[in-house]
Amino acid sequence: MILQIIKKVFEAVLCKMIRWPSNERIRKASIIFMCYIFLFIVMVPFFLAMTSIHRIKIKDAFNPKTELGITYEDVSLKTKDGLNIKGWFVPADSDKAVIIAHGLGANKSNFIGTVDMWHQLNFNVLIFDFRGHGMSDGHTVTFGYKERLDVMIGLEYLMKSKKFLPEKIVGYGVSFGGAAMIHAANEMRVFHKIIIDSSFASLDDMADTIVDGESIIPVFCRKMFKEMGLFFIRLDVGFDIREHSPENVVGRLAGTPMLFIHGKGDPLINWEQTQRLYEKAGGPKKVVFLETQGHFGTMNDASYVDIIRGFVVN
C-alpha cells in the first residue's frame, strides 16, 4: 500500500514536470518508465528492510517430551513492555541453569538440540520464543536490542520463581540471540558466564551483507540501497539499529567470563565478526574458531560439547 501511494505521488509529479516530448504516447511511456525505475529504487530496499524486521512466525514442531522424552513445563512470561513470551523450562537434578537464546527467524523447537545438550550437561534449561517469533507476542525484530527484555524477564523468572542464584546461571546465545544476550547482560549484571555462538558485532556490516547478497542490486547502488533500507527500518522501529550493535556494549561486560565460538565456514555471518566481539570484550574471555560449514554449524564439530563443558565447569 505504501509503495502504491509513493508510485501515484511520483507519477503525478512527473506528469507536472515532464513536458517533452510533445507526442502524448511517447511522453506517457517515458513517465511510466521513469516511474518504475524510481519504484525499483524504493521497492528493493523497502522490501529488504521489512522482511528483515517482520518475520514469519514458525510454530513448534515438537516439544522436549515428544522429541527427547524428557519432562518440561510450559512457561509464559510478560516483558516490561507488555509482551507475552512463551517458553519451556526443562528441569534437571542440579542447582545450575542456562538461558538459551535462539537465532533469527527460528523458534524454541528449532533449538531442541541445544536443549538436549544442556540437559545432558545437567543444567536446568529455560528456552523461549523471542518476540516476533514462534508462540510469543510481537511482529517486529530489532536485532537484539528490544529482545534483551525477553532475556531479562527470563533471568527474573529463574531467580525469582525458580530461586536460582545468579552465580549458577549461564547465558547461551546463538547468532541474533547472542546479540540479545549481550544487551541483556549489559543491563542485568547477574550472569555467571556467557557463551556467544555465531553472532555478529556490527549491524552496519550485517546490512552490507544482506544487500551484497542480492544480485539484482548493481554494485554501484548497494551503499545507497543499504542506507535507504536502514532508513525504512528506523521509521518502523523508531531508532537507528546500528547504534545498538553488540560491539558497542560488549566491552562493558568486563568481569563476566565470556566464551565466543564461530565456524570458519559460516556463509551468513563472517567469523571475523566474532573476532571483533572478542577483541572488544573485557575479561576473562576466550574465543574458539572451528572448521565447520554453515551458519551455526559449530554444533557439528565433535569437540563442541567438550568446549562448552570445559568452559562452564572451570
> Does 14 score more than 80 pLDDT?
no
Note the pLDDT of residue 253.
Answer: 97
The single residue listed with the C-alpha cell 550437561 is: 121
Q: Which residue has the higher pLDDT, 119 or 9?
A: 119
Q: Which residue has the higher pLDDT, 225 or 175?
A: 175
pLDDT-based confidence at residue 12 (cuts at 50, 70, 90): low
Lowest mean per-residue pLDDT among 214-218, 275-279, 292-296: 214-218
pLDDT tens string 262-273:
999 999 999 999
pTM over 0.85: yes
Note the pLDDT of residue 35.
Answer: 61
HSE-up (13 A, CA, CB side) for residue 288: 19
pLDDT tens string 277-286:
999 999 899 9
Note the pLDDT of residue 98.
Answer: 98
pLDDT-based confidence at residue 107 (cuts at 50, 70, 90): very high
> Does 146 score more than 90 pLDDT?
yes
Q: Which residue has the higher pLDDT, 146 or 220?
A: 146
> Does 183 score more than 80 pLDDT?
yes
Backbone torsion region of residue 85, taken as left when φ is above 0, otherwise alpha when ψ lies between -120 and 50, otherwise beta: beta
Cα–Cα distance, 285 to 134 (Å, whole number): 32
Tell me the mean pLDDT in the region 85-110. 97
Give Cα 266 to chain centroid, integer Å. Answer: 15
φ, ψ for residue 90, nearest 5 deg:
-110, 110
> Does 7 score more than 90 pLDDT?
no
pLDDT-based confidence at residue 27 (cuts at 50, 70, 90): low
Tell me the mean pLDDT in the region 86-95. 97
pLDDT-based confidence at residue 24 (cuts at 50, 70, 90): low
Bridge partners, 262 (sequence order):
289
Cell digits for 284?
A: 576473562
SS3 of residue 173 by DSSP: strand
Average pLDDT, the chain: 91
Across 15-19, 123-127, 213-217, 224-228, the highest mean pLDDT is recorded for: 123-127
> Does 17 score more than 80 pLDDT?
no
Cα–Cα distance, 192 to 169 (Å, whole number): 5
Per domain, the residue ranges of the chain are: 2-53+206-235, 64-202+245-313
Tell me the mean pLDDT in the region 118-146. 97
- Strand-strand pairing, 258-265 and 285-293: parallel
Tell me the mean pLDDT in the region 10-39. 61
Tell me the mean pLDDT in the region 27-44. 66
Tell me the mean pLDDT in the region 7-12. 63
Q: Tell me how crowded residue 33 is: count the other CB atoms within 10 A of its CB.
A: 10
Note the pLDDT of residue 34.
Answer: 62
> Does 251 score more than 70 pLDDT?
yes
CATH class of 64-202+245-313: alpha beta
